[in-house]
Structure 1
Amino acid sequence: MPSSCEEYLELLAEFESLPKEISSESIFDIAGYPHYENVASNILAFFLNPNNEHGLGHLILSSLLNLSGASETKQSNVQVSREAYTINGGRLDILIETDNQLIGIENKIYHHLANDLADYSKSLDKWAQPSQLSVVKIVLGIKKEQESFGFVCITYEELFSKVKERLGSYATTSSQKWLLYLIDFIRTIEKLKGDDMEFNENDKFFIENEDRVNSLVNARNRFLSKLNSKVRELQEEIEKPEACEKQWIYAKSCLVHDFNLSGNSIAFDLYVSPAGGTKGSGLACCYL
């Protein structure tokens, strides 16, 4: 029967044999807002307006209209607003008005489509009447939603596929800064797709070996506690020098001696480390 040490070595060997996962963080991941619908809607609203500084013109708007089956005639008079209040007090995520179109977009990231589409549809029809605008109703989401009340459901995957298909003709005229932000946004949303949220090999390893991993972690914690106790023993055995202002333990594993020599504050650290017993290092912080 193998010893605990042999089992741990076998476990570590299994882990090291797993494929290395390389994941690039987006600016939205770093900010902590990858799946907030309001954040995604704000970004979409910016890129949907062809008059904004991104320099991508009608790329996003025309791609979305193409997928909805509506006319994608390029127009200079485009107004984009956020959270339009509907007749029944709901809030439609994005409202776009052009010379001849009124486009309503309900954005869905993680939440299920539980919005009152009947209210949204009725509101759009009412808003469009005075100027006799053609109404386009879109639900944009990570996954396909049930189409109802005239709303066409488009997935982010479909939108981004169309955008990438057309991006080449805009690359030279766009702002490089905003193009990079758009690509970053696309990658962020793509990572939220269901197939990208499945367990990878590393995840499966920890699921299948939960008991063994916990045993290894607990054994290591006991070992670290043993080393830390050695630091306390050293503190008792090493007599504090007369010139030492303070003898203390930092982060459980480091015995510190503070000195003040000719007006300079100096700390001498003695570590007890798993890498090889005790090791000394001088860390000096001088205040002249």
Structure 2
Amino acid sequence: MDVERMKALLEGAARLRRPSRERTLFDIGARGYFENPTTDLLAFFLDPEAEHGFGNAVLSALLDSLPEALQPAACERYLTRPPVREWVTSRHQRIDLVLESDRWVLAVEHKVYHGLHNDFAHYGEDIALRLSGQDSRQVLCVVLSPGGQAPSSPGWLGLGYPDFLRRLRSAAGSLYEQHGESKWLLFLREFVIHLENLTMTDTLTDAQEQFALEHLGEIEALTKAKNDALVSLRLRLQEGLNTRLDDLGLPITSWQENWPVGPALRFVPHGWQGYSSVVIYLEPQIPKQVWVQTYIDRRNGDLAELAGKGIDCNQFDEHKVGRSVYNFYHGFSSMDWDAVEEAVASYLRAIMAMEQGWQREQLEEVQGD
């Protein structure tokens, strides 16, 4: 495959790339998705009398997601009591969320990763019998989920996240104009993004599937070209490093690691023990961005001692202190491989100079065993 055909294929594939997910407080402070806490938050924002001060803005966004003929009138969008979580049926089963007005009742089952296996027929009958009563309130039963699937039981509707969240985003914009910045508005925004992220599946869309099937051979050729290029680059750099460091009398070895964020090429002196090494990481999301990450075993001393041994943290773009290693980052905005090779050689030379004493002792112990 020639370069021009590679470019054309990549341009076509780029149009199908999904946007990256924005991390939220829920991603940072929680351990994945839990249905009950998420429904608790939903109940809080749906309550017009709750301390967030949003009135019925979130409730109206949910009600506007119903089929138009079933939507309560604007003057009926209030609750006579706070949302009820885990409403218990006569058979001691639980409905995720029940909202009550004196004109209508809305039962909500919240599904993200679980299938539609509940006794929905019993849920609907029990709600109608026990809550509608003699006042003949309208009873609405919905399943809220990313895909908007409805159960087969009569009287149940499916509401999808995309429509609800689109209305909720609009409501949040209006709330910002009315209230300005507030912690509750920040939490609502984070909650909306959190729910949006749940709808971003890793499955192929129809367009992605069709594109991949139509270009199977070319994609395979492009993948092989990528893998061959990484091997060629690694071996070429390894050869150059051995030439630059020939005076030290110890060869450099290398291998490729496939990190979750992209390919990484690791270089170490042959037979070296400990945690020190130098890694070249290619940034997949930023064209031509290259990072040289130098790992220094913490047994070499503190940052001040390292500076005296040729590894000064102030000369790097960033550094982190780990449990066993220091990690120093040197970024290159272009694939200038001569400059990258020179930097890697410099860091490897510093590593070998500072560690040669105790590394030789360890090597002799290994060889003696």
| Bigger RCO (CA 8 Å, 6+ sep) | 1
Amino acid at match of 2:124: S
- Cα offset for 1:57? 1.5
Identity %: 19
SS in 2 for 1:95: strand
- Cα offset for 1:164? 6.5
Report if aligned partners of 1:206, 1:213 keep a CA contact under 8 Å in 2: no
Aligned to 1:62: 60
Distance 1:47 1:208, change over 3 A: farther
Aligned to 2:186: 177
Which of 205, 219, 230 matches 1:221?
230
* 1:95 maps onto 2:91 in alignment: no
How many residues of Structure 1 are paired with residues of Structure 2 in the alignment?
269
| CA distance in 2 between partners of 1:122 and 1:98 (Å) | 18
Report if aligned partners of 2:105, 2:132 keep a CA contact under 8 Å in 1: no
Aligned to 2:85: 82
User: Aligned runs of 1:189-200 on 2, under 5 Å?
Assistant: 191=200, 197-200=205-208
Distance 1:29 1:268, change over 3 A: closer
Distance 1:54 1:77, change over 3 A: same
TM-score for the superposition, normalised by structure 2: 0.53
SS in 2 for 1:276: helix
Amino acid at match of 1:216: A
Which of 41, 44, 47 matches 2:45?
47
Distance 1:158 1:147, change over 3 A: farther
Point out the more displaced range, 216-225 or 24-33.
24-33
| CA distance in 1 between partners of 2:195 and 2:296 (Å) | 53
Report if aligned partners of 1:102, 1:133 keep a CA contact under 8 Å in 2: no
User: Aligned runs of 1:11-26 on 2, under 5 Å?
Assistant: 11-15=5-9, 17-18=11-12, 19=14, 21=17, 23=19, 25-26=21-22
Aligned to 1:114: 117
Distance 1:113 1:232, change over 3 A: same
CA RMSD, Structure 1 to Structure 2 (Å):
5.0
SS in 2 for 1:94: strand
Distance 1:9 1:162, change over 3 A: closer
Gaps of 5+ in 2: 250-268, 281-291, 313-329, 352-369
- Cα offset for 1:53? 3.8
SS in 2 for 1:153: strand
User: Aligned runs of 1:251-262 on 2, under 5 Å?
Assistant: 251=278
SS in 2 for 1:213: helix
SS in 1 for 2:83: strand
Distance 1:235 1:104, change over 3 A: same
| CA distance in 1 between partners of 2:8 and 2:33 (Å) | 34
Report if aligned partners of 2:79, 2:100 keep a CA contact under 8 Å in 1: no
- Cα offset for 1:237? 2.8
- Cα offset for 1:116? 0.9
Deviations 1:147-202 (A, max 9, x none): 634333333344446557777765533554255336535744664699x9444599
| CA distance in 2 between partners of 1:173 and 1:131 (Å) | 40
Higher helix share: 2
- Cα offset for 1:239? 3.0
Distance 1:30 1:169, change over 3 A: closer
Distance 1:56 1:131, change over 3 A: farther
